[in-house]
Amino acid sequence: MSDRPLSVQDALIGYPLDELGRRSRSGDDGTRIRQDKSIQSRAIRAFSGNARRSPQSVVKRIKAGGCNNKKELTRQLQYITREDAAHATWTNFAGVDRDLRGNTIERAAEDWSSAWRGAPKRGHTDHIILSFPKGTNIEQAEAVAREWGQAMFASGDYGDQWRYVAAVHKDPDHIHAHFVVDKVGCDWGDFLSISMKSELNYDVMRERHAEIARSHGIDMVASNRLSRGIVEHAPRETEYRAVHAEKGRGDDASIPPMSDSERERRESIVQGFARQYASLGQLAAMSSYGNSFMEKLSEAFFRSSDTLEKGGSLMAEPDTLAPPDNFDPAVAMTEAHDQMVSDARQAWDNIQAMDAGPERAQMEAEFSRTSTELLEATQAEPFFQDHAATADASNDMFSSLALASAQHVRSDLDPEDPRASQIDSYLGDVRDALTAEFAKDPDLMVQMNTTPEEMAEYAVQGEHSVAQAEAWQDRAEALDEAGSERLSALMDEGHRIVDDTWVPRDLEEQMALDQIMTADKHHQLSDVPAIESLVDRMEEELSDDEVQKVIDGDSTPLQDEISDPAVRAAVASEMRNEADLSPEASAERETVEAYKDMAREHQAEVSHDHAVERTADLEDGHEL
């Protein structure tokens, strides 16, 4: 399974963790988060935490906290380790934690500053604060802080090792840890750099903080603001400091301004996240059999999706949806996703191993329809993408706009609708004619591991998934030159049969509208089968004077014949195009784009009118 199945997120929607897979020194893609190896599982964890309203990891560097000389460093170390505030204090050198002694600060200030050279813009040290949710046990906070400091600065995972002095403060409303880190590396002398371009960055630090906290029983998640529906930028640290200096901690700082275009872009990203919460709600529901927590989590995902769609945000709450002991919902959902993909691959292989026949073609089509549903639940897993996405006509030798539109119209009709039986009869006639034609070359059927009935059934589907088209293309490419020529001739005759099969009059208009709506906007109007069929029919059924009126620009004669305005306009235009024999008209063939837009506008108007009618009915009922 790919580590990056969420290609839509990469291009537009985004990733719930701020980090987008930076390259590490070792050459691996992504930062080194040990426990959740794949980007997908980490994304699921972030979404799950947001849906459960878990507290967010907060790792902050004090902007003006860097020291430039021994005196500043001594004052800062004395401040963070003062007895009235500190619950625990320690220092780390060469990867070993040691509790502070009476002369530790003096020795650290002397040792660190003696190696400093130059005048870095942010100083020779970094002052970092690690915060914990309200109500965290201070012993747990200390354990997490010690492990986090080791992982970030003393493990060597991020290039070098850096010395630090740390302290956990016992503020009951705001338990937090201070880290003052010497930027000069112990092993290689590498200068510590914490930035979005560095291997060690805040996204890594926050993710690792949340990961370690969870291992110590503290529910915490690291996700970006947009994944929680927060569109505004966070206040700058300078604004926070100014407000705190004036009014004390707790007052809100002003939010940086944002342009209309940037706000619109960020709101679009939030709506993308809303769709992903809904997708995960489906996945959780599919994996919830016998697990009441997963049922509740599924509901939480759907509520989160609804909240973001309505412009709300997902804020941490005191009473989160806590999983049972020894149960990790993110792991469970990742396993469910992987199992779903594995089962689907096996099912597809089983379908391909079936005996050749129409049942295999029908099973392939059903698999494509199911993949469309699973595509949402698995957040665009590539395997399902190939089975849910419709192949381009240029890559599908069986593609037929006429048959595809017949299938579309048929799927929208009630079983009792008399038009359904008309379409079934039409498709049956095409199927029988194609079966007879394909049966003329039994040797080719054997070479392609198919039967005339299977090929006919497959062709009648009209359109196919990318995976279906590729499977048949592989069969075609395995043929020798003579076989390829015979297949090409057979397919040409098959398309001629489809074009010549009679379509009932009252279905033509619906099929024409569907073909306009589903064809690419650059598709030539003259190549839309149902439009051409209607043009031929109108030229036969209308009088010569009526045909001339249409050619002259008056489509009144078509109004009683064709009800849909987009189809009527397209037929009128094509009748005029066929009558215009000038070289200019032949060179500039009209496309379906304008008629596609016209059809959309008409559908929107019809939907609005129906909504108004329903509202009027409700109001009348209320008065009664």
Instruction: Provide the residue ranges of all domains of the chain, joining segments of one domain with +.
Output: 1-56+225-231+256-389, 58-220, 412-502, 506-624
Query: Which of these, 311, 228, 289, lies nearest to 56 by C-alpha position?
Result: 228
Rounded CA separation 371/318 (Å): 39
10 Å Cβ neighbour count for 474? 9
Decide: helix, strand or coil at residue 595.
helix
Calculate what percentage of the chain has a pLDDT beyond 90: 47
Task: With beta carbons less than 8 A apart as the criterion, state whether 144 and 213 touch.
Answer: yes
pTM of the model: 0.67
pLDDT at residue 238 above 50?
yes
Q: Which tens digit of pLDDT belongs to each residue from 423-461?
A: 999 999 999 999 999 999 999 999 999 999 999 999 999
Rounded CA separation 119/67 (Å): 10
pLDDT value of residue 203: 86
pLDDT value of residue 241: 57
CATH classification for the domain delimited by 58-220, as one of 2.40.50.140, 3.30.230.10, 3.10.129.10, 3.30.930.30? 3.30.930.30
Tokens of 555: 């489509």
Confidence class for position 216, pLDDT limits 50, 70, 90: very high
Task: With beta carbons less than 8 A apart as the criterion, state whether 174 and 131 touch.
Answer: yes
Confidence class for position 507, pLDDT limits 50, 70, 90: confident
Rounded CA separation 534/570 (Å): 10
pLDDT value of residue 195: 80
Q: Which residues pair with 58 in a beta bridge?
A: 131
Confidence class for position 590, pLDDT limits 50, 70, 90: confident
Q: Which residues pair with 238 in a beta bridge?
A: none
Q: Which tens digit of pLDDT belongs to each residue from 146-157?
A: 999 999 999 888
Quickly tell me which residue has 């799950």 as its tokens.
Answer: 48
pLDDT value of residue 615: 53
Kindly state the average pLDDT of the residues 35-41.
Answer: 61
pLDDT at residue 605 above 70?
yes
* 125-131 β-sheet, strand order: 58-61, 125-131, 176-182, 164-169, 86-93, 96-99
pLDDT at residue 29 above 50?
no
Task: With beta carbons less than 8 A apart as the criterion, state whether 535 and 571 touch.
Answer: yes
Confidence class for position 6, pLDDT limits 50, 70, 90: very low
Quickly tell me which residue has 């996240």 as its tokens.
Answer: 273
pLDDT value of residue 174: 85
pLDDT at residue 391 above 80?
yes
- In angstroms, the Cα distances linking 217 to 132, 140, 143, 163, 176 are 12, 8, 11, 28, 17
Quickly tell me which residue has 């549903």 as its tokens.
Answer: 373
pLDDT at residue 50 above 90?
yes
* Average pLDDT along the chain: 84
pLDDT value of residue 179: 97
Confidence class for position 18, pLDDT limits 50, 70, 90: low
Q: Which tens digit of pLDDT belongs to each residue from 353-367?
A: 999 999 999 999 999
pLDDT value of residue 27: 34
Kindly state the average pLDDT of the residues 13-36.
Answer: 40
H/E element, 126: strand 125-131
DSSP conformational letter for 327:
-
Confidence class for position 242, pLDDT limits 50, 70, 90: low
Best-predicted range by mean pLDDT (314-328, 490-504, 573-587): 490-504
Cβ neighbours for 460, distance < 8 A, ≥ 6 positions apart = 403, 407, 427, 430, 431, 434
Spell out the alpha helix ranges (H) of 389-480.
Answer: 401-411, 418-438, 442-447, 452-460, 466-477
pLDDT at residue 332 above 80?
yes
Segment among 244-258, 328-342, 465-479 with least mean pLDDT:
244-258
Q: Which tens digit of pLDDT belongs to each residue from 287-314?
A: 877 788 999 999 999 999 999 999 999 9
Query: Which of these, 349, 350, 361, lies nearest to 453 by C-alpha position?
Result: 361
pLDDT value of residue 103: 87
Rounded CA separation 280/290 (Å): 18
Cβ neighbours for 612, distance < 8 A, ≥ 6 positions apart = none
